[in-house]
Structure 1
Amino acid sequence: MFRIGCHLSVSKGYEAMGKEAIKIGANTFQFFTRNPRGSKAKALNLEDIKKYLELAESHGITKIIAHAPYTLNPCSADERTREFALEVMEDDLRRLEYLPNTLYNFHPGSHVNQGVEIGIEYIIKALNHIMKPEQSTIVLLETMAGKGTEIGRSFEELKQILDGVMLPDKMGVCLDTCHVYDAGYDIVNHLDNVLEEFDRVIGLDKLYAIHLNDSMNGMGSGKDRHEKLGEGSIGLEAFTRMINHPKLKDLLFCLETPNDLEGYEKEIKLLKDLYNARDWKDPI
């Protein structure tokens, strides 16, 4: 089954997000656990969650993505900033148990000139503190573009984090197409090679979701500027190849393109039309 959705606002509640997703033809979606630039989360509305779960079951929405706020930095040089990230993520995981089997995606953070190794140690320490054996939520490390001192610009950096966690079965990766392309992975001309490298370094069994975003910049730019599908340097043929690839086609796909709901609806329809359109292969 082709699972495709987009980023929605949680401000109106979970049932409202579910209805919005269905209205625009999506069968999954992503949402921020709280204000993406802030820290406060709204009190849980258990009745709203109950209605959402009933709606989701009746419409085949089996898995969604919760995204941690952008402002969190679990590997900051500042101790209080690291503590704040840990507190928010621990609270997020506690709340997400009311939404069973949700994926929880976060940006690994920036080491702020401490060095990659120190930053990775902080991330591992945070994850080992917040994750519990009984949780149903899978925590995803997002691939990053590599701007500044971001961690996660390479598969090797993500692998180091995954190797350090004590609950590896609760961890996975979300591959962002704009980010990996801007980080220097040629998913346009050599998708198979990139997937082979991911499998060799991390393992494709750890890939749970893909953020579908075109890029305003060229490969290896390290810029992280999302563009609408087909309007950037990645291009529509590459996305068609990705969603139809036998190693990817059954994953969860989520749009983070600069769009409103109408724009997302058009992109979702476009992708549905392109899914199974033909046997796409890497260019020779």
Structure 2
Amino acid sequence: MYFGAHLSISKGFTSATKEAISIGAKTFQFFTRNPRGGAAKALDPHDIAKSVELRKEHGFGPLVAHAPYTINLSAPKEDTWSFAKTTLAADIERMTEAQVPYIVVHPGSHVGQGIDQGIEKITQALNEILKPDQAVMVLLEGMAGAGTEVGGRFEELAAIIGGLVFPDKVGVCLDSCHLLGAGYNVKEDFAGVLAEFDRIVGVSRLKAMHLNDSQQPLGSHKDRHALLGQGLIGIDGLSAILKHPVLAEIPINLETPGEIEDYRREIAWMNTVVSS
């Protein structure tokens, strides 16, 4: 299985790959640029090539990029919506160069337009961005459903994908903490949750997972990550998630609120769970 964590690429892909190897990871996630916005750092082809070589040597699975939080594909304001489209399109091109197959994006917030209009805006934006020959797949992240967030229900993700001209260029990234917040009982029945996802969206679209415990209870609509085993999903619930066969071949990254040593300990625990 491909376990990893969210790491920084501020010193380059090779440095991040070495850090991932040092904590026992077989993948990692990173921000495409400053998560709060700003210009993207130029890519170094030599650094990319060295990182690819290291990852092959150590049996890595796919890496996962994460778009900045400033992207809102559902924004009612034209300038904000235009910025989101321009930024995501540029990052797809950059990740193609970096040989990273997935870029996770939060679907967006409708900011009072209503969920149907929000979904329509996201679908329209993606239809303007996606190209039939692109190598990078956009992964819509399932959200906790806070405020005016779009993507807190599987039906919303399915509606976005259903309106796409090139639906094969879009997948889904689920987050255990977000799922609990959105009202999906991953603590006691992850298999049932995934069966519901399969019925509504299609499990073949699940391309990545974020593994986090949750500080908030089922149906809270709050996104508050916790260290594994220190939240309300708990060790038993997280173990059941890890053991589900559907997750065996996809990258699973930690976004827990700890330091690098916490990631090392959590990845070791994850490996113990799946080998037991």
TM-score range, shorter chain: over 0.9
What is the Cα deviation at residue 138 of structure 1? 1.2
Distance 2:250 2:13 in 1: 22
2:31 matches 1:39: no
Structure 2 residue identity aligned to 1:93: I
What is the Cα deviation at residue 206 of structure 1? 0.6
Aligned-partner SS, 1:133? coil
Structure 2 residue identity aligned to 1:72: I
Whether the 8 Å CA contact 1:101–1:138 is kept in 2: the answer is no
Whether the 8 Å CA contact 2:64–2:100 is kept in 1: the answer is no
Aligned-partner SS, 1:38? coil
Whether the 8 Å CA contact 1:242–1:249 is kept in 2: the answer is no
Aligned-partner SS, 2:127? helix
Distance 2:166 2:99 in 1: 18
1:76-155 → structure 2 map (5 Å cutoff): 76-155=75-154
Q: For residue 252 of structure 1, what is the aligned residue in structure 2?
A: 251
Q: For residue 54 of structure 1, what is the aligned residue in structure 2?
A: 53
1:1-284 → structure 2 map (5 Å cutoff): 2-277=1-276
Structure 1 residue identity aligned to 2:139: L
Distance 2:245 2:30 in 1: 27
Deviations 1:256-277 (A, max 9, x none): 0001111100100011111132
Distance 1:268 1:133 in 2: 36
Whether the 8 Å CA contact 1:24–1:265 is kept in 2: the answer is yes
Structure 2 residue identity aligned to 1:210: M
Aligned-partner SS, 1:275? helix
Deviations 1:199-249 (A, max 9, x none): 110111111111001000100001100000000000011111111112223
Aligned-partner SS, 2:186? coil
Change over 3 Å in CA distance of 1:209–1:63 after alignment to 2: same
Aligned-partner SS, 2:173? strand
What is the Cα deviation at residue 252 of structure 1? 1.5
Q: Which moved more, 1:185-194 or 1:7-16?
A: 185-194
Distance 1:262 1:276 in 2: 21
Whether the 8 Å CA contact 1:77–1:111 is kept in 2: the answer is yes
What is the root-mean-square deviation in Å for CA atoms of aligned residues? 1.0
Structure 1 residue identity aligned to 2:58: H
Aligned-partner SS, 1:97? helix
Unaligned runs of 5+ residues in structure 1 are 278-284
Question: Alignment length, in residue pairs?
Answer: 276
Aligned-partner SS, 2:247? coil
What is the Cα deviation at residue 108 of structure 1? 0.4
Q: For residue 280 of structure 1, what is the aligned residue in structure 2?
A: none
Moved over 4 A (4+): none
Distance 1:39 1:93 in 2: 16
Distance 2:180 2:199 in 1: 18
Whether the 8 Å CA contact 2:43–2:98 is kept in 1: the answer is no
TM-score between the two structures when normalised by the length of structure 2 = 0.98
Distance 1:249 1:59 in 2: 18
Aligned-partner SS, 2:65? strand
Structure 2 residue identity aligned to 1:42: K
Distance 2:245 2:76 in 1: 41
What is the Cα deviation at residue 34 of structure 1? 0.1
Distance 1:52 1:191 in 2: 34
Unaligned runs of 5+ residues in structure 2 are none
What is the Cα deviation at residue 21 of structure 1? 0.4
What is the Cα deviation at residue 101 of structure 1? 5.0
TM-score between the two structures when normalised by the length of structure 1 = 0.95
Distance 1:133 1:181 in 2: 34
What is the Cα deviation at residue 66 of structure 1? 0.2
What is the Cα deviation at residue 53 of structure 1? 1.2
